[in-house]
Structure 1
Amino acid sequence: MAEVILKGISKSFGAQMALDEVTMTIPDGAFVVLLGPTGAGKTTTLRMVSGLDKPDSGSVTIGGRDVTTLTPAQRDVAMVFQQYSLYPHLTVRQNLEFPLKSPILKTPQAEIDRKVGAVAEVLQISHKLDNKATALSGGEMQRVSIGRALVREPSVYLMDEPLSSLDAKLRSDLRIELKSIQADSGATMLYVTHDQTEAMTMATHVGVLDSGKLVQFGSPREIYENPVSVYAASRLGQPRINVLPSDVFGGAPRGAAQIGLRPEQILQGEGEDSFVQRVEHLGDQTRLHLKFKSHDLITVTDAHTTLKEGDIIQIRPNNPFFFDASGARIS
């Protein structure tokens, strides 16, 4: 596998700046997830690495080789798209074999059979190899799509929201499988998603993008526990971080405009009164929707709490985040 380095990558489409001086190092063997809303630049970054688009400025290096001007075929990368992009007239086996039969790879048939068999077993589609792609369920189609990338054993895997169109259970199952495959193979993977659960559970590193700029890059825990801005803080965490005026509890540092409180940063007990608006029992935990000085808050409490709508509880902040008027973190 290979380290990927993006250095000063900028890309615009007409008047729209898609990427603005993005510099990022994807370590060899890392599982990097790009997070951000629609239009943040996630897919454009992926396309820069794949070679499907060329940057206006900056460079892309894969495994120590400058690939900025190379075609996708010359970069030794494999891409999985949100939609399955299978050949409907071919069987599952033929779809999986297809990239290995390219004139560039020239893979012997015995090796093709070995790789297809191994990948099909990992993805639990061995019994579907002779089915036409059109006879598969959505989840099976996406497994084949992922498998078609895995058989390549490229330098870098690029995945553009490959699980977003699947149902919740299958998404959870494939999330575990993908992480296991990546960890076992030591593959370098760049993965785009809107789903923060995927980022928290799969990534070794997370890149947070905002309007074409890389605002923070680090481990999921680092970004969760030490966000550089209110924007970065809002990308990870479920329930989302609570953001309130900085003076709502008192004791804010100079220059603070907002206070950020993750659910675990709200302590119950001694403090100030808040009103329980709604109680959500989720099995392993209970979410409390609170009204505090005209502000809405969400926190979590014991799964077996006896609190109910209309109760009054006291809360206080514990090691909260503070942000200035621009949203930047105040240490």
Structure 2
Amino acid sequence: MAEVSLSGVTKRFGADVALDNVTMTIPDGSFVVLLGPTGAGKTTTLRMVSGLDVPDAGHIMIDGRDMTGLTPAQRDVAMVFQQYSLYPHMTVRENLEFPLKSPILKTPQDQIRRKVDEIADILQIRHKLDNKATELSGGEMQRVSIGRALVRKPSVYLMDEPLSSLDAKLRADLRVELKSIQADSGATLLYVTHDQIEAMTMATHVGVLDHGRLVQFGSPREIYEDPVSIYAASRLGQPRINVLPADVFAGAPSGAVNIGLRPEQIIQGEGEDSFVQRVEHLGDQTRLHLTFKSHDLITVTDAHTELKNGDIVKIRPSKPFYFGADGARVA
């Protein structure tokens, strides 16, 4: 597979800056997830790497080669779009076979059949191989779209929220399968999502984008445990990080405006009084919705807790994050 390197990549659409001087290295064989809300620049980054859009400034390298002026076909990448990209007049099998029949690949027919059957089993669509694409449900169409990329062995896989249209069970199953396929093949995969669970469970690296700027790049654990800003901290973690005024607890450092507390950074049973507003039993854990000095916060507790609405819980912070007025982390 191949390393992908973006250096100072900028893209404008009129007065709007979609990507702002993005520099990032996607290591060979890594599973990189781009996180951020709509408009953050995630899909634009994929389109830059694929060659579907051209940067206004900066360079993109794949496997040490400058991609300037090269078409998508010349870049040896496979892209899965958020919306289905199938040939409606073809069967599922014919759609999956199509990339392998490219004059560039010249794949023997027996290998085509074997690869298609293997991917159809992984994506749970073997029983649909003889159906026309127009006879499939939305989720089945997206699985075929993913399959069209997986049957190939390009330098880089590019995926734009490929699981968003699937039901919860299949989405969970395919998270495991995609990660397994990527790990077994050593593929380089750049994956766009707004789903932090996908990022936490699949990624070797996460790139957090905000209005076209890359604000943090590292492993999911690094970003979760050492966020550079409130924005980066809020991208990972379920429930979301609690952000309160810094002076709500004693001991805030100079320049701190907010304190950030993840559930495990709230110690229960000691400290100051908070009040239970709601108890959510989730099976393996229980979420407590608390009110502390007129501020709302969420933490987790034992699955079999007997706490109920109106109870008093003493809490204190443990190794919290502090942030300044601009949202950046304060040491």
TM-score (norm 1): 0.98
Q: Distance in 2 between matches of 1:197 and 1:32?
A: 14
Q: CA deviation at 1:261?
A: 0.2
TM-superposed CA distance for 1:87, in Å, is 1.5
Q: What secondary structure sits across from 1:238 in the alignment?
A: coil
Query: Structure 1: how far apart are the matches of 2:39 and 2:13?
Result: 12
Residue of structure 2 in register with 1:45 after alignment = 45
2:33 alignment partner in structure 1: 33
Q: Does 2:302 align with 1:302?
A: yes
Q: Deviations over 1:42-79 (max 9, x none)?
A: 00000000000000010110111111221000000000
Q: Superposition pairs for residues 257-268 of structure 1, below 5 Å? A: 257-268=257-268
Alpha-carbon deviation of 1:318? 0.4
Indicate the residue corresponding to 2:84 in structure 1. Answer: 84
Corresponding residue SS for 1:289 = strand
- 1:4 and 1:158 map into 2 onto residues whose CA distance is 11
Specify the code of the residue in structure 2 equivalent to 1:24: M
Could you give the per-residue CA deviations for residues 190-229 of structure 1, whole angstroms, max 9, x where no partner exists?
0000100000000000000001000000000000000011
- Following TM superposition, the consecutive aligned residue runs of length 4 or more in structure 1 with deviations greater than 3 angstroms are none
Q: Secondary structure at the match of 1:131?
A: coil
Question: Alpha carbon RMSD of aligned pairs, Å?
Answer: 1.1
Contact 2:142–2:165 (8 Å) recurs in 1 = no
Q: What residue is the counterpart of 1:110 in the other structure?
A: 110
User: Deviations along 1:117-143, whole A, 9 cap, x unmatched?
Assistant: 222233232232112222223332222
Name the aligned partner's letter for residue 105 of structure 1.
L
CA–CA distance in 2 between the matches of 1:311 and 1:38? 39
CA distance in 2, matches of 1:47, 1:307: 50
2:107 aligned partner, one-letter code: T
Q: Which one is further off, 91-100 or 129-138?
A: 129-138
1:1-331 matched pairs, under 5 angstroms: 1-331=1-331
In the alignment, the residues of structure 1 paired with residue 171 and residue 116 of structure 2 have an alpha-carbon distance, to the nearest angstrom, of: 23
Deviation at 1:175, TM superposition (A): 0.9
Moved more, 141-150 or 27-36: 141-150
Structure 2 segments unaligned to the other structure (5+ residues): none
Provide the aligned length of Structure 1 versus Structure 2.
331
Name whichever of 163-172 and 285-294 sits farther off: 163-172
Distance 1:270 1:134 in 2: 61
TM-score, normalised with respect to structure 2: 0.98
Structure 2 distance, partners of 1:125, 1:66, is 38
**AA at the equivalent of 2:55:** P
Query: What's the secondary structure of 2:248's corresponding residue?
Result: coil
Output one character per residue of 1:156-186: Cα deviation in whole Å (capped at 9) or x when no partner. Answer: 0000000111111111111111111111111
Separation in structure 2 between the aligned mates of residue 168 and residue 116 of structure 1, nearest angstrom: 25
* Partner Cα separation in structure 2 for residue 14 and residue 108 of structure 1: 47
Cα distance in 1 between the residues matched to 2:248 and 2:112: 64
Task: Find the aligned partners of 1:123 and 1:296 in 2 and give their Cα distance.
Answer: 42
CA displacement, residues 238-259 of structure 1 (integer Å, 9 cap, x when unaligned) = 0000001110001100111110
SS in 1 for 2:146: helix
Task: Kindly state the Cα deviation for residue 283 of structure 1 after the two structures are TM-superposed.
Answer: 0.6
SS of residue matched to 2:162: coil
Cα distance in 1 between the residues matched to 2:216 and 2:68: 24
Alignment partners' CA distance in 2, 1:160 and 1:253: 41
Q: What is the identity, as a one-letter code, of the residue corresponding to 1:321?
A: F
| Structure 1 unaligned blocks of 5 or more | none
> In 2, Cα distance between the equivalents of 1:241 and 1:79?
33
Give the Å deviation of 1:265: 0.4
